[in-house]
Chains A and B, each alone.
Chain A
Amino acid sequence: MNQEIKKLDPVPLVKRLIEKSKAGKLDWAPTADRQQFVTSVGGDTSFRIRLVPITDINEWGQTENVDVPRLDMLDEKGNMVWQVYSHEIPGRELRELFEIARRIGNRLDDRVAGAISALDNL
């Protein structure tokens, strides 16, 4: 009963989401917000990744507004159960996950293949 509750590490979750997305096992879907994509797993959990604006300090010490990815985990009722911010993940893995989600959600691979085929026929 006296066990210390350790901080949840989001890195394994993000890594697994990237792996499964790359393997084509996660079907990211677009939303009304072009910078937001959703997918569901296990029949009771959804993930939402989106770009959120934050104010950051650039290399010259000036404040600037930048969009950074944020991952939300939702339960079967749509309640937010966990939020993962990009600063919690080393490197650019959350950005990578967002790019993969956008690529799948916008069916970019099919569109590029179609464009290449159309260009070949010119």
Chain B
Amino acid sequence: MIETLYITASICSVLALFFSIFAGIQAWRASKAASAARDAVLIRSLSDELQLACTRGEQLVDFLKHSRYSEAYLRVDELTWSLSELPHRRGRHLTINHKNTLLTARQQLMTVNEAIDKYSNAKGEIDEKQILAVARKVTMRLRETLGEIRSHIENGEPL
């Protein structure tokens, strides 16, 4: 009788061990899937934010083309702030190259900001062609970065 109980208890403990290992694996898989889903949502939101930055860049180019410097000044500021925030908030989801592109773009925009500021304060002339060319280049680089991020999302690859 005792022997039967002993055997039953042993079988139960082996089964319990098996089920706990199985539950552990399932929990690990679920946690990994949840983390991947969270990352996917964050990368999608990063892509939306970059899309907004690109739209602001295109508006900036348009304002500069029509010499509407007060509106352009506002757009440069908005774009500079977005580009300052993005690498800090979404740094984990950006590659070093993406971060470098955003940093360089921000530095370029700061020079556009200075140029418009000087012109607005009647401290000098404005090099229209140059600031327009720089704004175009910045917007193009942002679009390229957005394209790379979207391509990763569409192909389901990590950045």
Contact = CB atoms under 8 A, between A and B. Distances in A.
Interface stretch (B15-23, B51-59, B129-137, B149-157): B129-137
Contact of B99 (A30, A32, A34, A44): A44
A40 B104 CA distance: 6
Contact of A30 (B88, B100, B103, B133): B133
Contacts, number: 72
Given A29-B104, A34-B127, A78 B133 contact: no
Interface size class of A (residues with CB under 8 A): 20 to 34
B106 interface: yes
Best-buried of A32, A34, A41, A44 by chain B (most CB within 10 Å): A32
A43 B115 contact: no
A42 interface: yes
Best-buried of B88, B104, B111, B134 by chain A (most CB within 10 Å): B104
A38 interface: yes
A90 B134 CA distance: 33
A31 interface: yes
Interface string A1-44: 00000000000000000000000000101111110101111111
A74 interface: yes
B114 interface: yes
A34 to B, nearest CB: 6
Contact of A32 (B94, B96, B101, B111): B111
A30 B96 contact: no
Given A34-B130, A78-B107, A42 B112 contact: no
Interface in B86-136: 87-88, 91, 94, 96, 99-101, 103-108, 110-112, 114-115, 127, 130-131, 133-134
Contacts of B115: 32-33
Interface of B: 84, 87-88, 91, 94, 96, 99-101, 103-108, 110-112, 114-115, 127, 130-131, 133-134, 137, 141
12 contacts: A27-B104, A29-B104, A29-B141, A30-B137, A31-B108, A31-B112, A32-B114, A33-B115, A45-B103, A46-B103, A76-B87, A78-B110
